Every structure is written in structure tokens, then in C-alpha cells.
Structure 1
Amino acid sequence: MTTVICLHAAVAQKSYGSEKRFLCPPPVVHIEGPVWHMRNQQLSMAVVSETGERSFEQKSTLDNNMTSSFKFLHVTGTAKAKSFQLSLDIAEPHPSTASNPEADGPPGRVWASFDSAPVTIISKPSKKTAKTRNISSCILAGGPVSLFNRINSQTVRTKYMTIDHAQLCASNVAWSAFNVNVVRRPNEVPNIGPQPVTYGCEIVLSDTQSGISTSPLTIRKVDKGRVSIEDGGPVSQMQKIALQRINPDGSRHYLSAAGPIPGSTGVVPAPGMSSQAGTHPLIFQSPRVRDEVKDGMHIISDEVDDYLCWTIIGISKFQYTFFDSSGKNSNIPELPITPFPTLFTAPVYRQVNNTVELTVSNFFYEDPKTRTQVPLDVFLGNLGPLPHRVYQASPPGPLTSISPYLTPGMDGASADSPTSPSSPAGAPRFMPPGPVHTIVVVEMPPITDVIKALEDDALPLNADRPDNADGADGRNGSGPPPPSINGRSLPLLFIRSIDGVGYHSGRTIACENVFHTLDLNGQPPHAGGNIDTGWLTAAHEGGLQNLPGWTLRVM
């Protein structure tokens, strides 16, 4: 399967007048898996306003790590704009630029378009402590963040915290997302729902990709170049912080983005550290300690320069997985693979009739020959296509507020208009008018077929299945699950039959035995008296045709 992953900031500052406040950190796209000649594809990203207008489109290419960055995107607009979206297009190179992908030229055929969730626009970072009730503006414990350092507020002097060669580094060319794990709070809080990170917390930053973690650090608020020790409120988006380390002798050091100091110990770059220009290991440095007398009391405070201050911002991600069901992965599809079929809610399994109910958007695609709407096929792993019934949802009512997100000029376009699939204006960029989603009731395969598929999936490649392993022996309701299927599940897939393009729904289905963990000897006595519970033991030992012990579970 091929997965397109984009990491980007959860909030962005608006640019006013002629200024350009670039999105920071810059959105990064990474592609994993079979890549369908992806290295030669043209990537472009644009900012899409709430009215669907695209602006500030930037092109980029994939590097040797199949990663691309978009460093010059910024947001403008009216004062009423509250959010925007990022839109990523992947296009084939135009014949005129095939020999030089980085050359400017006409765009090629766009065959995939991926959109982010709305990104919140802020005018400037809050200098006041956030209120806990406004949790959307807070940094949440356990969530991913990016930290960057900027000298004198100059964009060209920005360094990002990253991991390079298994070391915590500062870099002006790459950044990493870190999970903020709180290990100690100054005040205990109830463990109910998402909790914001508060100043004074002891945290560990863990790289989301490698898992490399920092030592415990205390997060402190910085105000006018001084570290505030007493502030214990929630940490807000894009606030300046300092990461403090208390030494055994009681002295305080702060994580610094300053470059290695010649002649100092402990800051010599590891072999190979020069692989990225402008990347160096992070060090700890002492602040300037200021002792003042105020109202007859000695007050000791730490003064920190810009290179000891970090701006913290939450990170969002959008991710799409697709594949060639034929297994060839040899050609770019003739039809665009987007919009993606997306589940609105978690699938619901109905054990009585062995069906799964799905609420899906973009479940139909247009056949280029007949110009008719064709539903996708549904597979469970390699089982399928599965029989299914489709029910179109009613259009939204008059009191429902849904923004259609149409591109300019698409108003009133009919669903069967004869537009070319390769034309950029051939389909709405966002949610088309009409029914928002489709309800699909899928008939699941027999339980024995699911167990057999799980066991086959557990076999090593090129291994032969035993002749007597038909998946049905002893599987009609008795016994524990075979060890080979423990912890395994089958993906729920959508496949476009016309060309074999497949989509992962993001959900999998496992098979489990409802009697396996049931303690029959520990059944409590029934309050009604002489109730025969022997049927339960019989079902467990031999299985009943009308009471199967196996069931499916949506993961």
C-alpha cells in the first residue's frame, strides 16, 4: 500500500498588508510504500479559503527520502476568516518538463488531490495564560508539537528542533514532531478527557517517528526575556517557552538552539552530523541570574536570550492510503484516485444477520465510458467483492449548515456533465452539492471463511497450507482462537473495479470467540432459583448451529 502523509501546524498566523508570515513549521509531505513512479511526480500545495478560493500555490519535488517541504505558504484574507485548508495535488510531469522536473512549466495531469482538516487562523500568539475551558487553543498532553527558535523575530534565522543521527538537534532545513508526555504536574488534575499541558509540568519530548526521547524537562513561560516560575496556567499555541533542567547542585540550565561553542566539552558533533546543512546538536546553557530587591524581598529570576526560547505549536496530520489491487504498481492510474471514500462514523456490525453498516462519502465514481455512477466494490482482506446494499442519504434539510466548498465556476454543474476526468475542472474540488453520504450495508463472509483468511494471512510467504486445515474444523463455536489469528485482523477495503485502484477504509475486522474468556465455573447463582445453565456449557464444548460462538469485531 502507498501512504501519503502530511504534517502541518494546527494553527497559523494571518499576514497583513504586504507582509508574509510563512506557515511555521512548513508543511512536510512524506510518501511510503510502492510509489507508482512517484519520485518523478509534481507536487504542489495551495492555501484554500473558507469560500474555496485557492491561493499561493507552491510546487515542490520529492527528495531521496520521498519527502517534500513547502516553505513559502502564507495566509491572508478578510478579518472574518477563521480557518483555511491545505490542498495537496500530485500530477504527472508535463512532457515539456519531463527532463527537468524542477523547471517551471505548465502543470501535468492531476491524478490525486488531498485536503487537510480546517486549520485555525490566529492574529497573534496570546500573551496571557489560556483559560482551561478554551481547550482548542491549548497544547494537549500526549499530543504532537513542533518547537522552533527564532532570533530577533527574523524568519531567516529560524531553527527547528529535530532528530538527526539519533541526536536532538537544531536545524534550519528539517523539523520533527514530538509527543509531549507529562511525567509530573505541579498540581494533580482529574484524568478525564484531554488535559492541557501547564507551565511547571515536567515533560518528556518523544519523537513520533523514531521514539527517541529527551530527559525530563520542566516547561517554563517566558515573558519579556525572563522565565516566569510562578505561572501554572495552560500552555497556549505559539507561546514562547523555555525548557529547564535542574542540576543535582540546584543550578538551572536551559535547552539552547545556539550552535556548538568552539572548545566547549560535550557539544562535539557525532560522526556524520554534517549530513544536513545548518544542523547541529542541542546543548544546555546557563541563564543570566538576576537578584533584585522588591518590596524588601530578594527576588531571583532567570534572564534568557532568544536562543534559549522556543515557540511551541501543535501539529496536525492528514494521511491517505491507496494501492493497486492487481499488485503491479506499474502505472499511474488513468482516472484520478480522489476524492477518497471516507467513513463518516465507525462501522456497526450486526451479528444477527452478519452485516456491517457503513456511512461513506464518495462511494460512487463516474465510469468514463458510460458516464454513469458506479459504486465501489467492498473487500474484507482478499475476500470479495462482498454483496452490499446501498441507500442514498437524504439531502441536508433547510436548517442544516453545510458549506459546499465548490471551486469558482462550478456552481450549478450537473453530476453527469461530460467533462474529461483528466481536466482540472472536471470535478468539484471539495464536497459536491446533494447527498452528503451513502449508507452501505455489507454482507460479511461466513465466519469460517474469515478465520481461514486470517490463518492464511499468518502463513509465511510461499508456505503451503496443511490439507486438513480448512478453517471449519472445530470453529463452529468451541475452543479458544487459533494462536495464529490472535491479534490479527483483516482490512476493510474499497476497490474501484474499472482499474483496480484500492482504498484502505482505516478500519479492520477481527474474529473472536465469545466463550473463550467466559468463566463457566464462576457463574453467579440466578436469583430466580433452578435455572438450567447447562446450555452454556454445551455451546462452549460442542457449539450449536443456531448459537455460534464466533463473532466479528470492528477495530
Structure 2
Amino acid sequence: RFFCPPPCVYLSGPGWKLKQEQIKAGDLGEASFRVCGYMGLDSMGSSLMETQKLSFEEQPDAKGFGCAKALYISDADKRKHFRLVLKLFFSNGQEIGTFHSKMIKVISKPSQKKQSLKNTDRTYGDGSMGRKAGATDEPSTRSEFPLREGYIRYGSVVQLVCTATGITLPPLIIRKVTKQYAMLDVDEPISQLHKCAFQFQGSDRMYLCLSMEKVIQFQASPCPKEANRELLNDGSCWTIIGTEAVEYTFSESLACIREPVSPVPLIAALQV
């Protein structure tokens, strides 16, 4: 059981460059500065088969990026909840620390039953943070699904907002997708791992579509036998996926530390 989307790690901040300069000054070579990491599951998922080595690449925005595309949960692991564990260190052997994700709920496959508000851990509410993934989609910025009130249902008007740039798409009607058909008469709550489509409000069967890494409009074909269905292409079908992010901010002490501060302590409140 693989992750969808796969877990990603971003390294940002000026501290990584400062460390590189310190190592260069000590004539230890650039290879000694390279950041390495291993990601796996906590406790039961600590075997080597369930741990993946991460290689970090520098992106255009100067952030380091690593993705555990091959990480999976064993079928023998029957837990319903778990956490990811990330161990970071420099290639010269110096340990950076151990970092944990938030608790993750295992959802092996989308529910085939009609959704209701009784199962709220898989539904999305007002202003929920989610991610839509297409067939050719790579890990990217999360999108926001704002709604006036209550939980989002199929047939509702939603608006997709990029949380990084603030770019907003026109109002869209979210439709449930069954066997590549948009279902026009379904009004149940949306759920994780469901297939969905986004119809432009007020348009003539025009849907949000991903084509060659570009977002375009696609006109669906009407179904002659069933008026409540419209045929889509692959690029117009999206998967609803919940996402979470954990951010750790730290700086190294000026003093020489022999042992790393691990696991990293979390401060919930500070009183002076």
C-alpha cells in the first residue's frame, strides 16, 4: 500500500548554506555537506524494507527537496493510525535530528458506500485544505476548497485557491466521477480517494482539465441513454486527497555539541 501523494520533505532557510560554508572552510569537501535522510514508519514499521533513503535536490527557489515515492505500508501492518519518522544527517556522519509527522489515518481504498455526515473523518468541511491529483500530477502546492457553511457535497459550488500564490480559479461545480462519467444528480458529501470532476459554473459541459502540465477547459460529451451523466477524458478526472504539513524550525548552537538534540522538543507555550 503506497502513499498518495508520496511524502515530501523541503529544506529551507539560510542555515543550510551557512553550514556548507563552514564545512568548505574546514577543507572537508562539498560531499561532506550533502544532506541525507531516511524515512519510515514509527514503531512497527521500522524494518529496512519499509524505510526509504531520501536524496535531496536543490529547486529553483533554493529549497532542498526530497520525495519518498517508493515508501509503502506493509499488508501485515494492521494499524489504523501511524506516524512517519524522518532521520536527517550530513554525509560526513553528523546527525541533524529525528522528526515526526502528524498522525496519519490509513485509508486503503475509497468507500463504495454512499457517504453520510456520520463518517466525518473522510469528509471535507468549510475552508478545508486538500489536494487534487490528476493522472500526470506531481507533488505540488495544496489547494483550498472554501464553502459557505457545512460539509462539501457533490453538486456544490467551490473555488480552488493556491495557498502559495493566492491565484483563484472561477467558481466550479464539483461532480462525482464513476467509470469516467460525471454524475450530475449525486449530492452526497465528498470523501477522500473519491474520483471527482470540476465543472465551470454556467458553462456548456466545460470541465477543468490537465493536459501536458497545463490547465485547460475540456468539453464533456453527453450520454445519449442517461441524461444525468457526461463522459470525461482522463485529464478531467481528479482524485480527492487529504494533506498535512509539519514544519520544524531550528538553529544550531554556537557551542560544539557532541550529541544531537533528538527527538526535537516541541514548545506548546512560553510564559515569562
In structure 2, give the amino acid aligned to 1:181.
P
Matches within 5 A, 1:260-339: 280-292=213-225, 299-324=227-252, 333-339=257-263
What is the aligned partner in structure 1 of residue 72 from structure 2?
74
Say if 2:209 is the partner of 1:209: no
Question: Scaled by the length of structure 2, what TM-score is found?
Answer: 0.83
What is the aligned partner in structure 2 of residue 472 from structure 1?
none
Partner SS, residue 98 of structure 2: strand
Q: 1:256 aligns with which of 194, 209, 224?
A: 209
Shift of 1:57: 2.0
Matched-pair contact (CA < 8 Å) for 2:39–2:54 = yes
Shift of 1:245: 0.7
Matches within 5 A, 1:137-152: 137-150=122-135
Matches within 5 A, 1:121-200: 121-150=106-135, 159-160=136-137, 172=138, 174-182=139-147, 195-200=150-155
Q: Deviations over 1:53-77 (max 9, x none)?
A: 3423222113133222221111114
What is the aligned partner in structure 2 of residue 455 from structure 1?
none
Distance across 2 between alignment mates of 1:46 and 1:220: 36
Matches within 5 A, 1:105-124: 108-124=93-109
Matched-pair contact (CA < 8 Å) for 2:54–2:67 = no
Structure 1 stretch displaced more, 237-246 or 30-39: 30-39
Distance across 1 between alignment mates of 2:114 and 2:258: 53
Shift of 1:52: 5.6
What is the aligned partner in structure 2 of residue 42 from structure 1?
36
RMSD, aligned α-carbons: 2.4
Matched-pair contact (CA < 8 Å) for 1:179–1:205 = yes
**CA distance change for structure 1 residues 70 and 52 in 2, over 3 Å: closer, same or farther?**
closer
Distance across 1 between alignment mates of 2:15 and 2:115: 43
Shift of 1:304: 1.4
- Aligned residue pairs: how many? 253
Partner SS, residue 237 of structure 1: coil
Matched-pair contact (CA < 8 Å) for 1:87–1:115 = yes
Shift of 1:139: 2.4
Query: Which protein has greater RCO, CA pairs closer than 8 Å, 6+ apart?
Result: 2
Q: Deviations over 1:438-495 (max 9, x none)?
A: xxxxxx3xxxxxxxxxxxxxxxxxxxxxxxxxxxxxxxxxxxxxxxxxxxxxxxxxxx
Partner SS, residue 74 of structure 2: coil
Q: 1:340 aligns with which of 258, 264, 268?
A: 264
Distance across 1 between alignment mates of 2:35 and 2:258: 14
Matched-pair contact (CA < 8 Å) for 1:86–1:115 = yes
Structure 1 gap ranges (5+): 1-14, 16-21, 95-107, 151-158, 161-171, 184-190, 260-279, 294-298, 348-355, 357-443, 445-555
Structure 2 gap ranges (5+): 21-32
Q: Deviations over 1:352-388 (max 9, x none)?
A: xxxx3xxxxxxxxxxxxxxxxxxxxxxxxxxxxxxxx
Matched-pair contact (CA < 8 Å) for 1:45–1:87 = yes
Shift of 1:79: 6.0
Matched-pair contact (CA < 8 Å) for 1:245–1:254 = yes
Q: Deviations over 1:316-362 (max 9, x none)?
A: 11111112465xxxx99543132222246x56xxxxxxxx3xxxxxx
Distance across 2 between alignment mates of 1:112 and 1:73: 20
**CA distance change for structure 1 residues 333 and 23 in 2, over 3 Å: closer, same or farther?**
farther
Matched-pair contact (CA < 8 Å) for 2:51–2:71 = yes
What is the aligned partner in structure 2 of residue 60 from structure 1?
55
What is the aligned partner in structure 1 of residue 29 from structure 2?
none
Partner SS, residue 307 of structure 1: helix
Distance across 1 between alignment mates of 2:79 and 2:176: 29
**CA distance change for structure 1 residues 110 and 200 in 2, over 3 Å: closer, same or farther?**
same
Distance across 2 between alignment mates of 1:230 and 1:43: 48
Question: Scaled by the length of structure 1, what TM-score is found?
Answer: 0.42
**CA distance change for structure 1 residues 333 and 62 in 2, over 3 Å: closer, same or farther?**
farther
Shift of 1:231: 1.4
In structure 1, give the amino acid aligned to 2:248.
Y
Moved over 6 A (4+): none
Say if 2:221 is the partner of 1:221: no
